[in-house]
Amino acid sequence: MTGEVEKQFSEGALGARRKVYLGLMADLEQGRIVPGQRLVETDLAIQFGVGRNAVREAMQQLAGRGVVELTPNRSSMVRKLDLAETLEVLDVADVMTGLLARYAARHMPGAVQAPELAIAMTGLEDAHNSHDVIAFSRARRHFYRALLAIAQNRELQRLFPAIGMHIIYSQHQTRKLREVRLSDYRAIFEAVNAGYAEAAEAAARDHVANVRSIIMESF
């Protein structure tokens, strides 16, 4: 509700590394850091109130997730994608999102997480109507989280968030990459909800294709 830094949970019960990791992820989602930006270890250590070790461990984690790029003896950078690499990311996202939707639909009948998906869908609509870009990003994250929970595939849960979509969203937040998408999400939602695996996969891949074409126009 407030403009505050979204302290994930009740208190600072988080470990130091996790604090940095979550902090930077939130910073990216909310535009406080941008692709291409240089991240200096000591600055981050001071900013998050942790030791430099913890920062370095978090950077390894973030690099694995495709959020930052590490080059020896150089400051790490928030990953920045040119058009070519953006399309490469989308090629991977295509098959992975398709897999996600297919499995979510398959496991939907009787899934205990079904309500969460419906809530996430509503949140997506609310955020869309509010024209709040950041709220929409968060809602989208919740939506995918619900899909992943339903899909019941631990390897997919591990790897899907490692796809460079975070960066793509961050680089194109300001663009009009939002109109087309709500209907996309609804199509995915309904196919998954109905348990239509083939339709869900198709909707998911259509969505990625839509994102791709919008990006190609506006790049």
Backbone angles phi and psi of 185, in degrees to 5? -65, -40
By CB under 8 A, tell whether 92 contacts a second copy.
yes
* Shorter beta-carbon distance to a second copy: residue 93 or 120: 93
- The contacts of residue 75 (CB under 8 Å, 6+ apart) are 38, 39, 40, 41
Q: Which residue has the tokens 């019941």?
A: 152
Q: Indicate whether 86 belongs to the interface with DNA (CB under 7 A).
A: no
Residue 176 within binding range of a second copy, rule CB under 8 A: no
Question: Helix 16-29 and helix 133-151: axis angle, to 10°?
Answer: 120
Which member of 6, 88, 126, 217 binds a second copy (CB under 8 A)?
Answer: 88
User: Among 31, 51, 64, 115, which residue sits at the site for DNA (rule: CB under 7 A)?
Assistant: 51
* Region of 34-42, 112-120, 134-142, 149-157 interacting with a second copy (CB under 8 A): 149-157
Taking alpha carbons only, the member of 150, 216, 149, 211 closest to residue 177 is: 211
Strand-pairing partners, residue 77, are 38, 69
- Pick out residues in 4-33 that bind DNA (CB under 7 A): 15-18
Of 37 and 61, which CB lies nearer to a second copy in the complex structure?
61
The yes or no reply on residue 135 touching a second copy (CB under 8 A) is no
Packed helices 16-29 and 41-48: angle between N→C axes, nearest 10 degrees: 100
DSSP annotation of 69:
E
Member of 45, 96, 139, 208 binding a second copy (CB under 8 A): 96
Indicate the residue among 103 and 185 with the shorter CB distance to a second copy. Answer: 103
Question: Does 162 help bind a second copy (rule: CB under 8 A)?
Answer: yes
Length of the chain in terms of residues written: 219
Only segment of 22-30, 36-44, 88-96, 178-186 that touches DNA (CB under 7 A): 36-44
Which amino acid is it at 143?
F
Q: Which residues contact 127 (CB under 8 A, 6 or more apart)?
A: 135, 136, 138, 139
Q: Which residues would be at the binding site for a second copy (CB under 8 A)?
A: 15, 17, 53, 56-57, 60-61, 63-66, 72, 85, 88-89, 91-92, 95-96, 98-99, 103, 153-156, 158-159, 162-164
